[in-house]
Chain A
């Protein structure tokens, strides 16, 4: 140990400095765009194009937020609410169903088990965009496009969640515990909800997060399904605004501030729940 540090202190300093420079530049790369978005949100429309992009001019953030919320009868708030409803309820139900299915695949032996698992695994590889178009045509057979359900129902299904749930259930729920519960006379379904679900909770949070993000980021399915803008999630809403900027220039301020506000909840959720990501991602790469 002493030999190494005595032998090459200069080299060590050099590589430390080089490492920190790489980290510093990377940090700028990742954070400067978000900083710019924040600065842009604080500026009036005139100053947005006339002042330096990376520093404050007159602080107009709250005026801008007020204008954004008032614009078009508060449609932006509606979009945010829609995104929250699609993502949180979709992820909640999706996690529950994926957990039950993955749990059954991990803890019970029955014919067709591997077939079901492999089919679901194949589902992970099917591009969501390849499903969106047929889904639209199927929903239109029932006159159900342009409804809340046409976006909500398909997004509940999470094959990746089943895959993760199976791995997690196999790892975190011991068979002996299930046997003990059986000897106590508890039913299988009750055991799942009272015992196994608790053991699987950290894993379930991970599945929930994955699916929440997937639904929150979903763009193609709403783009294809929805015409009524009061049903839009915030991504689709901002997209339509952004494509109208050339016709309605004052909308640009709303695109900037709307984009900034829309990422805040997710960033907070991410940073506070980060340990679940790491656990989940680690397990995902075990195989």
Chain B
């Protein structure tokens, strides 16, 4: 035991050169990451395990350890789960529509069918420069029944009604992010060597066939990346619906999980809000991870 571990210890120790430099390089980020990532996460977990107790109705409130009480409350909180269901529905529809749109535009930009590529690329990317809050304010007016330039349509068909507002918000998110996702997929397409298509073209394959059977499978990693970012973004949905609350009463104070967390913390019910944040972060983790594994296995087959 000792005879083997001593040389191993030596062998492990010798390769670490430049310790001081490594420490200097890592320290600033590590300190900030610990303070503003790890500490809040640990704090949220700790806080989520506390409950407030009072001596009688008017007693002083005291925070005591409550185990998983807050988590049980989260799981019993219908408004929270309704908000989770809402963003899930949103994601199931909006993410594929947006990525499909982005993929079509990227493939068209990459095909010889389109002229003026530089202009289109810029035009499609411009909305990404508009912050979500600003985009939501802008579209809020475009949806308005009397101020919209499309009032002929919006006065007859209420885009801010309880049944439609989710999809009106989906359109805002799509508008902002299609160009960004298109650019990711388009860069992946540009990186493909063109010889791959030459053979197919000589065999008489048309652009659509080349796109479907060669280009899309090859840029799948890029599409998966955009899908993961979009899923994370959907679970975090906050700014756009929060802005829409000043345009319509259809967006409730628990419309998305994040708005529910914000509302709960303002009550204030900090421990419940912390438990909701932890559940949300875990859900994001699991969803991204499962999606990644699922697509990887599919790709291997």
With contacts A133-B273, A134-B43 taken as known, whether A242 is within 8 angstroms of B37 at the C-beta atoms is no
* Residue B69 lies at the interface, judged by CB distance under 8 Å to chain A: no
Does B127 lie at the interface of the complex (its beta carbon under 8 Å from any beta carbon of A)?
yes
Q: Are B127 and A30 in contact (CB under 8 A)?
A: yes
Minimal Cβ-Cβ distance residue in B for A35? B149
Binary CB contact string for chain B from 130 to 141 against chain A (1 if under 8 A, 0 otherwise): 111111011111
Whole-angstrom distance between the Cβ of A181 and the nearest chain B Cβ: 12
**Contact indicator B126/A267 (Cβ below 8 Å):** yes
Q: Indicate whether A137 reaches chain B with its CB closer than 8 angstroms.
A: yes
| B15-65 with Cβ < 8 A to chain A | 15-22, 24-26, 28-30, 32-33, 35-37, 39-41, 43-44, 47
Please give, as numbers and ranges, the residues of chain B lying within 8 Å of A31 by CB-CB distance.
123, 126
Question: Which listed residue, B21, B105, B274, B281, touches A189 by the CB 8 Å rule?
Answer: B21
Could you say which of B71-79, B107-115, B156-164 contacts chain A? B107-115
In-complex Cβ contact of A26 among B105, B187, B281 (8 A): B105
Q: Decide yes or no whether B142 CB sits under 8 A from chain A.
A: yes
- Given A27-B124, A133-B273, A49–B146 Cβ distance below 8 Å? yes
Q: A27-B123, A192-B25, A274-B122 are in contact. Are A131 and B187 (CB under 8 A)?
A: no
Within 8 A of A (CB), among B227-243: 232, 235-236, 238-239, 242-243
Closest to A110 in B: B16
Given A157-B37, A188-B18; A52-B284 close (CB under 8 Å)? no
User: Which interface residue of B151, B201, B236 has the most chain A CB atoms within 10 A?
Assistant: B236
Interface assignment of A79: CB less than 8 Å from any CB of chain B: no
Is B111 touching A267 in the complex (CB atoms < 8 A)? no
Neighbouring B residues of A27 by C-beta, 8 Å: 120, 123-124
- Contact at B232–A125, with CB atoms within 8 Å? yes
B155 close to A (CB within 8 Å): no
* A194 in contact (CB, < 8 A): no
Shortest Cβ gap from A13 to chain B (Å): 10
Q: Which of chain A's residues 25-51 have a Cβ closer than 8 Å to chain B?
A: 26-27, 29-31, 33-34, 36-37, 40, 48-49
- Whether the pair B134, A259 counts as a contact (CB closer than 8 A) is yes
Given contacts A100-B26, A137-B270, contact A127 B12 (CB under 8 A): no
Query: 14 A-B Cβ contacts within 8 A?
Result: A8-B206, A22-B105, A23-B114, A31-B126, A36-B149, A97-B32, A100-B28, A127-B280, A137-B43, A157-B32, A219-B238, A224-B265, A266-B130, A270-B128
10 tightest Cβ-Cβ pairs between the two chains A and B: A53-B149, A188-B21, A134-B40, A104-B25, A101-B29, A282-B187, A19-B113, A243-B246, A285-B222, A266-B129
List residues of chain B with CB under 8 Å of any chain A CB.
Answer: 12, 15-22, 24-26, 28-30, 32-33, 35-37, 39-41, 43-44, 47, 104-105, 108, 111, 113-115, 120-135, 137-142, 146-151, 175, 178-179, 183-184, 186-188, 190-191, 201-202, 204, 206-208, 221-222, 225, 232, 235-236, 238-239, 242-243, 245-246, 258, 261-262, 265, 270, 273-274, 277-278, 280-281, 284-285, 288
Known contacts A129-B277, A134-B43; 17 additional CB pairs below 8 A are A33-B135, A96-B28, A97-B32, A110-B19, A123-B33, A126-B37, A127-B235, A128-B236, A130-B278, A137-B47, A153-B35, A217-B239, A219-B238, A271-B126, A277-B183, A281-B187, A285-B184
